[in-house]
Amino acid sequence: MPELVFNAFVTLLVVVDPLGLAPLFVALTRGTTESYKREAAIRGTVLGAAILFLFALVGQGLLGALGIGFPAFRIAGGALLFLLSLDVIFARPSGARAATVREQEETLAETQEDISVFPLAIPLIAGPGSLTTVLLYTAGGDVLSTVAVLGVLLVVLLLTLASLLLASRVMSVFGETGANVFSRVLGVLLAALAVQFLLDGIKQSFAL
């Protein structure tokens, strides 16, 4: 159980990336009031949390309805997380990651919509990587392990909310370079966990 909790925490911490969201949030809310920033941070985190918790509860049933075996999903999820870890390590955007800061600023300038739904809740918080991670750690497990993973998810989301609420201070302390260095170190751990998911999925496939 401690190993499961630690692995889930590291994976979700890298995938959701609370520190990495701080510079994006600062860019997206530049020129807005403090009350708007606070409301957007809270609303976006709550919406993202609702999506992730809902997916954790119905995701396994969805796989069954689609006829997707868990070993196949473990292999696919491991591959996706490995690609995501490469993005984190080399700090390069790809289809597995969210849009760049400039793209987010252009989206905000063009649409003038509430950023708490898009892009904050989806895909920055509840994106493909985080949804896959939640399902990988909850599907096929017993009740106790599922509750433990959901507890870890809640902690990561609270850290995310704190990072958004204190985004300006976080950037002044760590800076964008400091946040990237921290993310890259954790990205290496994510790559190792992703490979383990791949190996476990392949092993389970041959055991069937």
For the chain, what is the radius of gyration of the CA atoms? 17
Per DSSP, the three-state class of 30 is coil
Q: Where are the beta strands (DSSP E) in 16-171?
A: none
Confidence class for position 161, pLDDT limits 50, 70, 90: very high
**Would you say 31 and 157 are in contact if contact means Cβ atoms under 8 Å apart?**
no
Q: Where are the domains of the chain?
A: 2-207
In angstroms, the CA 111 to CA 65 distance is 37
Looking at residue 94, what is its pLDDT?
53
Q: Is the dihedral of CA 47, 52, 55, 56 positive or negative?
A: negative
In angstroms, the CA 99 to CA 89 distance is 17
Q: Average model confidence (pLDDT) for the chain?
A: 85
Which token pair is 196? 């383990």
pLDDT surpasses 60 at 143? yes
| 172 vs 159: which has the higher pLDDT | 159
pLDDT tens column, 25-81: 988 898 899 999 999 999 999 999 999 999 998 988 888 888 888 888 889 989 998
Task: Output the CA–CA distances (angstroms, integers) from residue 109 to 29, 38, 61, 114, 179, in the order listed.
Answer: 11, 20, 39, 11, 26
In angstroms, the CA 130 to CA 136 distance is 10
pLDDT surpasses 80 at 125? yes
In the chain, pLDDT over 70 holds for what percent of residues? Answer: 88
pLDDT surpasses 70 at 110? no
Task: Please write down the long-range contacts of 90-97, taking CB distance under 8 Å and 24 or more positions apart.
Answer: 91/180, 91/183, 91/184, 96/128, 96/129, 97/129
